[in-house]
Chains A and B, each alone.
Chain A
């Protein structure tokens, strides 16, 4: 798998920043591996997409990819969900049901939100990873499973081990190939590229031509902190595509809550604008004046801005 294939496969991992290039390079290196992967990253950074990419580039790509969020189920339900159950194992278990591990046989299972798995369940998971066998709830048969495991975590599992909230033995069993996905605020230079990508995707999906984007909107995207990461940026672009009817994406087309939290010194946009996307709409796009120095900031402003001059164009691949 080449880096360019990866970049076109899904946009959540689009990026030319050094941080994302390191991720792509690591994915390329582990392409043929069958070892367990631990993907760590804040919500919205693209953990599941990364897991999908790993599966699709592996020898298992023609077998199932099964994703399951461990946060969705209660302590008892998760065991039945992962390992399955036999008829009569509990009230409501009216027939035999295979678990996600069995459904993923031959392929890959993505255990997202592994940090939400309760300690009592962690020991059962550890046993499955060690023995590569499962037992359905209420069953007596031991079933061998041939499954590659990818775990996703929004929290630092190592810290959770220190805090006594995650089993150390399970951590080491999972943390064979670690991948850390950076939050969007730590790879701001990728924002213009991601914005172009999603604006194009959502206007095309509506069967419409892709309109130019005003400099003011680009500035707002660059300055905002994106606490919800790429997922939030994608959502903002979808919203724009749904509401913009004026032929140019302007400030009025975007969420005011982003604008209200996008204040601050303007980054040098010319340094990050892709050369292939010349600024259009210049008649209406003078550089915004920064808000007054004493202007109140939004209470939930999580923006972390890089010092001036840190945004640099990434070298073309």
Chain B
């Protein structure tokens, strides 16, 4: 089952680096087997950052939780 805690545990692996760069990745909500997140800080408006984080974090979430479906960046 997709829980906030399990998603947060994956986000916690990238968060220290993002915070060190003045940004963050914020979990907004879990909806079924998907999650909505928001990037804040310097990388928030950067299309490259969206692509790399989107691909990397979504893959990691699926490794942790095979039932995980979609990571949505808002």
User: Which residues of A approach B to under 8 Å, CB–CB?
Assistant: 214-217, 219-220, 243-246, 248, 250-257, 259-260, 262-263, 283-292, 295-296, 298-299
Contacts and interface: CB of A to CB of B under 8 A. Distances in A.
Candidate in B10, B22, B57 with the most chain A CB atoms within 10 angstroms: B22
A254 B51 CA distance: 10
B42 A284 contact: yes
Given A253-B48, A296-B64, A287 B59 contact: no
Contact of A253 (B10, B13, B49, B63): B49
Given A250-B42, A257-B56, A257-B59, A298 B13 contact: yes
B20 interface: yes
Contacts of A251: 14, 17-18, 20-21, 23, 43, 49
Nearest to B44: A252
A244 B64 CA distance: 29
Contacts of A245: 46, 48
A284 B9 contact: no
11 contacts: A216-B17, A244-B48, A246-B46, A251-B17, A251-B20, A252-B42, A256-B52, A284-B22, A295-B9, A296-B10, A299-B63
B19 interface: yes
B52 A243 contact: yes
Given A219-B17, A291-B12, A298-B13, A260 B23 contact: no
Interface residues of B, number: 31
Contacts of B66: none
B16 interface: yes
A218 B17 CA distance: 10
Interface of B: 9-10, 12-23, 39, 42-43, 46, 48-53, 55-57, 59-60, 63-64
Nearest to B54: A256
Given A252-B42, A290-B16, A216 B21 contact: yes
B23 A252 contact: yes
Nearest to A220: B17
Nearest to B9: A296
A26 to B, nearest CB: 38
Contacts, number: 111
Interface majority SS (helix, strand, loop, mixed), chain A: loop
Contacts of A296: 9-10, 13, 64
Nearest to B64: A296
A252 B53 contact: yes
A295 B63 contact: no
Contacts of B57: 256, 260
Given A214-B21, A251-B43, A284-B22, A256 B14 contact: yes
Nearest to B14: A259
A309 B6 CA distance: 33
Given A246-B42, A295-B9, A262 B52 contact: no
B16 A252 contact: no
A289 B56 contact: no
A289 B17 CA distance: 8
Contacts of A291: 12-13, 15-16
Contacts of B16: 263, 288-291
Contact of B20 (A252, A253, A288): A288
Contacts of A254: 52
